[in-house]
Amino acid sequence: MAAALVVIGLAAGCSSADKAESNKPTVPIAPLPSATTPTTPTTPGADKTPETALKYMQALSAQDPEERRTALELVEPGSPAEGYALFRIEAQEAARALGRADGQAVTLAAQPDGSIIQSRPDGAATVTFGGFKLSDAGKLSAISGNGQDLRSRLVKPSTQPVTAADSKLSLIAGLQSTDAAALLLVFRIDTGGKPVQVRVSASSYTDAEGRVHNADPQKSLFDTATISPGTTGRVVVALPGAAPGGRYSASVQTEGGQPETAELPALPY
């Protein structure tokens, strides 16, 4: 599905990262596009697709980060449509900051059944989005990917940050792929007066049944990153086999300090 398994990075404002050149991606980076060539809905019967849904998908596929964020103006607050937009926006921003954004053009085509097909020239990341529903206020509230409602696969943003290693951490987005291969979580870290090191291989996720899933540093593209003091970083972590409803344990430490754990609940919508 449209959830990549290997996109990770730090947000603008982080001045350094140990990107570990030995940790090259072992699977294709897909599909958090940084460029788009959206079609107009000329397919017969394509007027069944809500105009709001077309604008939403076009915004999420845009190259410009500010244009991508306009998708949030089209959604019902607290809805799965908002959750999916947050995931696309925040994960893409993390990848872009590390120079790992996928630059292939994306085509969006409205279909007679009201769905929208997103595709790329290489044939990867072809996804059919549908199940669009509008709220009474005319905002997009529901969305499906490849026939699956995304509500149960999305993670709600944290309501309160967690303090660890002189920093504040917040879970800001998350999505489980529709084949259940992995859960991707995007968390934000606001550092204090010291550099903070994030180590992916030392983090884990405990699901609702108590099973522990270790983060995959290769699919996450790096093992260790250092975030400068007084800045903000975004990190995307791949957790094979995990699903929303558990708790992520992030491993962080200040320069010269001992590792500390930040517990971040990953609640479903």
CB 159 within 8 A of CB 204: no
pLDDT tens-digit readout, 133-151? 999 999 999 999 999 999 9
pLDDT tens-digit readout, 87-114? 999 998 888 877 766 556 788 999 999 9
CB 83 within 8 A of CB 60: no
The pTM of this model reads 0.81
- Cα–Cα distance, 246 to 212 (Å, whole number): 9
CATH code reported for the domain at 162-266: 2.60.40.2550
Confidence band, pLDDT 50/70/90 cuts, at residue 37: very low
- Cα–Cα distance, 34 to 64 (Å, whole number): 8
Mean pLDDT of 57-63: 92
